[in-house]
Structure formats: structure tokens, C-alpha cells
Amino acid sequence: MLRCLVSGGAALILALALMAPLAHGGDATHMGQIASKHVLLSGIYDLETENLKFYRVHYDTRLETKNYRVPPKEVLVITDVTWTFAGSSADAGRTAVVSLSIYRPGKKNYAETFLSSATLDATGWCLKNEKVVSGVIVGADMEVRLTPPSPALTSDIPQTIFLRGYLAPRK
């Protein structure tokens, strides 16, 4: 009898543990977050503002058509930044710098939150994939922008930049 109770209790605990993610809307995936909370932003150069704007890329490859803003009552925790610079062989050995800032739309002030650099190779190219261990937290209704680039380069913006992270409740 005791053996049945113990194995029955273990089965109940296992079943509850497997069902727990469903109470939150799905299975937990990378970093303990459900898939719908993961965010991938692609930096796309905007000719009007002469800056990168970040657009959300959905899991089915749809690209949002407006600059991404963090939803109300949530924060975006940026965990990874991937960027490339593509210059020419004349840029070999120079340092490329990427600096990200958080802006409140309609305001002029900003907070610089991320800085990365790399030395360009013989062809004037580099790739960086940065893990942001502490996370960069972006508040509700805020935007992430590229801070003015390094003046040392002839190519003054990254060729590609991706931000990865997840949405969390604002507490």
C-alpha cells in the first residue's frame, strides 16, 4: 500500500510539473520563457531619420511595419546583440563601434545602454555576437536606437544588427 502511495504521489508531482507551463500559456523554452514572449528585432536603416529602426521579426518570418515599442505593462530584456560591419579593404585594422541607446519617443534625451567594438579584418569586415549577461532592460513604450557611429570608419552604420531578448512583466 505504501509503495502505491509513494509512486502515485510521485506520478502526481510529475504530472503537475509537466502541466505548470500550460498555465502560463505554453511550454517554457529558452531562458524559461514561453515562445510568444521571445523578441527578435532587426535593425533596418531609415533614410528619413538617417538611423536604424528596429522592427520585430515574428517566428513565421513576418516583419512588423513600424518601429518596435515595448508593450504597456511589460519590459523588454535584451540578452543578445549580433552585428556586422562591412567596409572595404581600406578600412582594414580600423575599429568599428556599435552603441545602442534607449529613447522615449517625442523626447530628445536618451540613455546609452550598450557599447561594443571590433577590429575590421583585411577585407574590412567583422561579426560580433554579444551575450548581455546582465540584460539591457527597455521600459514600456520606449525605443532602442543606434547611437551616432564611430567617425573612424568610412561605413558609418552596421550592415546588420539583431537584438534578441524576451518580454517580462513590469513590476
Q: Over the chain, what is the mean pLDDT?
A: 78
92 and 164 housed in the same domain: yes
128 and 149 housed in the same domain: yes
158 and 85 housed in the same domain: yes
**Could you tell me whether strands 125-138 and 74-86 are parallel, antiparallel, or unpaired per DSSP bridges?**
antiparallel
Is the Cα torsion angle 66, 63, 168, 157 positive or negative in sign? negative
Which is nearest to 41 in space by CA: 12, 26, 63? Answer: 63
Q: Tell me the Ramachandran region of residue 7: left when phi exceeds 0, alpha when psi lies from -120 to 50, beta otherwise.
A: alpha
100 and 58 housed in the same domain: yes
Domain enclosing residue 164, as ranges: 33-169
- What is the mean pLDDT of the segment spanning 125-153? 81
Question: What is the chain's Cα-based Rg?
Answer: 21
How wide is the angle at C-alpha 44 spanned by C-alphas 43 and 49, nearest 5°? 110
CATH number of the domain that 51 lies in? 2.60.120
11 and 65 housed in the same domain: no
> How far is 163 from 171, CA to CA, in rounded Å?
23
Share above pLDDT 70 across residues of the chain, in percent, rounded to a whole number: 75
Type of residue at 158:
P
pLDDT digits (tens, 9 = 90+) for 72-113: 999 999 999 999 988 889 989 988 888 888 888 788 778 888
Largest CA distance in the chain: 80
72 and 10 housed in the same domain: no
Residue 40 has pLDDT above 90, yes or no: yes
- What is the mean pLDDT of the segment spanning 62-70? 88
- What is the mean pLDDT of the segment spanning 28-50? 80
**Could you tell me whether strands 143-146 and 95-103 are parallel, antiparallel, or unpaired per DSSP bridges?**
antiparallel
> Total structural domains in the chain?
2
19 and 44 housed in the same domain: no
87 and 149 housed in the same domain: yes
Q: Count CB atoms within 10 A of the CB of residue 146.
A: 20
Q: Please tell me the pTM assigned to this model.
A: 0.75
63 and 100 housed in the same domain: yes
> How far is 78 from 171, CA to CA, in rounded Å?
17
